Structure 1
Amino acid sequence: MTFVVNAESAESTGSSEPLRLPGFDDLDRDWLRARASVKWHRPGPDLLPAWVADMDFPTPPAVTDALRDAVERRDLGYPDWPDGSPLRVAFARRMTDRYGWSAGADRVREQTDLIQCLQLILHLATSPGDAVAVQTPNYPPFLATLSTMGRLAVPIPMQDTDEGWRMDFAALDASVTQSGCKVLVLVNPHNPTGRVLTRPELEELAALARRHDLLVISDEIHSELVYAPHRHIPFASLSPDTARRTVTLTSATKAFNLAAIRCAVTHYGPDRLLALRDAQPPDLYGTVSPLGVVATEAAWRNGDAWQRELLTVLDRNRRRVEQVLRAQLPHLRHHTPEATYLAWIDARPLGLEEPPVERVRKAGGVLLDGGSPFGLGADGFLRLNFATSHAVLEDILAGLTRAFEADV
């Protein structure tokens, strides 16, 4: 692929047509629908899917080449990892190269995915009935995990301001004090709003965590999908105190479209938690697949050029979503995401009698996500996945417009 720098939408570049990139904008819909993965398979042939957080783009060539090489070498035996997988060093190198954070490789452990990472930390650090602070709206499997594990979710609502979504630190302070919770699940960059916390905001959060002696479980899986001028800062990188109280969760799966490889990493800041984790039976929580390690290493080592093109396409698409909403659906409230490939859209001003997800499905032929599974205050919201080709996105936006055209 040819690297394209800082592409923008047609209206901002002055060109008559938006940029198209091979490998991203030449998607074959028969190929998309023929895949067995849930995004296109579950909705069936009559709906355009823009719901689950998978991208439509093919796997990065660096990853497919590495996987093909492993299979062709018949290198599928037991791995020789006496000191842990190569991901430990690869993660530490990635954090240094990307963010200047010296994350110790010896504090990294592998898991199959981020949900398992969260569940393991909650199992080790909390007990049923314990309160856990969490931003709302939030990733539904995280909220479902708290419920299933019997932890009391203490919602910290994100604030919708004229400048965009903001974290309410006063509400967090008050809620932590009232509930006595000692754990905060931080999602930054935030799913579903796309907000990226600034350094001053993170420092305020770190001071609050120190004041209340909070363990911070920081989900940073969207960190490599941030749009300039915004910048991701790992929470644990702020100070030695913050590092000692932070568990960082991440994976290459989101930024390189590799969900099925089932491979994630956890960086343990607290000594006690790392010791508890290592005292568990070694295979109690499963072991990561060697092919998952191969794919992740390849993505982090050789996938940056592909990822830059990806961000060019996603930046164009997020601007296109904003353009259509402003021009054709001005009653829907929306802030252009600072990260992720997810748009969080407030349909409450329309006063619909049915959930907007259902309206878009029936009247627009598009399957979106949203509503109550995202937590307190999420009813009336839509989450739209714009990680697709220009042509597919245009049809998704046409369906969205069609669904609400009688209401605006």
Structure 2
Amino acid sequence: MTHTPPVPGAPAAEPRHVPGFDDLGRDWLRNRPGVKWHRVDQTVLPAWVADMDYPMPRAVAEALHEAVTYGDLGYPDWPDGSPLRRLFAERMTSRYGWEAAPSRVREQTDLIQCLQLLLHLATSPGDAVAVQTPNYPPFLATLKTMRRPAVPVPLIQTDQGWHMDFAALADGVARHGCKVLLLVNPHNPTGRVMTRDELEEIAAIARRHDMLVISDEIHSELSHAPHRHIPFASLSPDAAARTVTITSATKAFNLAGLRCTVTHYGPDRLLATRDAQPPDLYGTVSTLGVVGTQAAWRHGDPWQKELLTVLDRNRHRVHDVLRDRVPALRHWLPEATYLAWLDVRRLRLTEDPVQYVLRQGKVLLDGGEPFGPESDGYLRLNFATSAQVLDEILDGVSTALAPLQER
């Protein structure tokens, strides 16, 4: 993990302007109907929900426009599943060297639906699920609602950053008889990218206890060099046979509203169980969702390359500015994603940090108890915005938190 000791007073370098990513008009942002900007009033800057502020790739916009203007939005002719099945497999091979089988890919509307369907088919109420904490709040809420007890596997914060507690994983799985491991890699919210050694340690535990691994890899294409994503199912034949991989173009290309996710089933029995369900019981993806995802995966890589340059700049900007202005705040450069996980516990706030920063700094962040046990005192900041807006967000956060260091 990358961690630079605080150097109070060291100025943060001014960001380079990147056309298309830094030309975000404030009126345009505030007039967007999406939840990120629509849910806050005119005096507040939103940096909470995991949506980017950037326009979608031109290739995606053009493909969607063509489909609406000239295309056929009637029933699609996909007798063997959507074209995404083969396209997903090709992308896994070209990017990661993983030979995923198109015949084992199925489409769903979004990540949460995938998780809920898998838990419904593979487990019963009362079955324990091992899950990294902190974690994506809708995952934890799903486990609670479906009465699948969550067995927290904490990521440990050290002087070098965040690390998986393998002893806690092995102990928790053994004591609670976990049937499933919900793995989020790259990790939301800490931004960790698991190394091969770490993944193999997890795979060994899963093998010893014969666990199903549900691997959320939706942030995989947002890994920052030199860190490299490794699909869990690519580790070994045993890992492949027990892993269900969930991913989508939505995070890496800012297309959440298209509601299109793909799931690769490793376990034969689980795939057969899924295919034995009524064909439309769990919904189907739309033509536009498939069109947009195809365009992103086929033609969006140049846009994504530029995006990663901007996000790399922004993650360093967050790190440098907060290191300078709020040295008591602990933060490590995320190895993936556009989310920063900020430890404000040393500031000894006496109220909810999210509400405090909103009131004092006019910035809406996320964080706290919904992310799981021991997440109080942490804030999640979304830095996928323009350089100017990000600096205003950091000004607001610093205005709220910096005075607390003097107490």
**Is this a same-fold pair by TM over 0.5?**
yes
1:293 to 290, 294, 300: 290
Partner of residue 266, structure 1: 263
The aligned residue for residue 62 of structure 1 is: 59
CA drift of 1:240 comes to 0.5
Superposition RMSD on alpha carbons, in Å?
1.1
Deviations 1:115-171 (A, max 9, x none): 000000000000001100000000000000000101100000100011110001111
State the AA in 2 paired with 1:343.
A
Q: Is the aligned partner of 1:390 residue 2:387?
A: yes
Q: Sort the Cα spacing of 1:123 and 1:395 in 2 relative to 1 into closer, same or farther, 3 A.
A: same
Of 321-330 and 48-57, deviating more is 321-330
| 1:1-400 mapped onto 2 (5 Å cutoff) | 17-400=14-397
> Between the two proteins, what is the percent identity of the paired residues?
72
Counterparts of 1:248 and 1:29 in 2: how far apart (Å)? Answer: 38
User: SS where residue 82 of structure 1 aligns?
Assistant: coil
Amino acid paired to 1:354: E
SS at match of 1:335: coil
User: Secondary structure at 1:352's aligned position in 2?
Assistant: coil
What do the CA deviations read for 1:206-260 (whole angstroms, capped 9, x no partner)? 1111111110000000000000100000000000000000000000000000000
Once residues 112 and 104 of structure 1 are traced to their aligned partners in structure 2, the CA distance between those partners, rounded to angstroms, is 20
Letter matched to residue 241 of structure 2: R
Q: Distance in 1 between matches of 2:199 and 2:292?
A: 31
Task: Report how far residue 16 of structure 1 moved.
Answer: 6.8
Q: Is the CA contact 2:12–2:317 (under 8 Å) kept in the aligned structure 1? A: no
Identify the residue that residue 8 of structure 2 maps to in structure 1. Answer: none
Output the amino acid matched with 1:246.
T
Matched to 1:338, the amino acid is E
AA in 2 matched with 1:353: T
Provide structure 1 residue ranges, at least 5 long, that are not aligned to the other structure.
1-13
Q: Distance in 2 between matches of 1:209 and 1:331?
A: 38
Q: How many residue pairs get matched?
A: 395
Runs of 4+ in 1 over 6 A off after TM superposition: none
Once the two structures are overlaid, the 10-residue window that deviates more, 384-393 or 160-169, is: 160-169
Residue 301 of structure 1 aligns with an amino acid whose one-letter code is R
Deviation at 1:15, TM superposition (A): 11
Which residue is equivalent to 1:5?
none
Equivalent residue letter for 2:375 = A
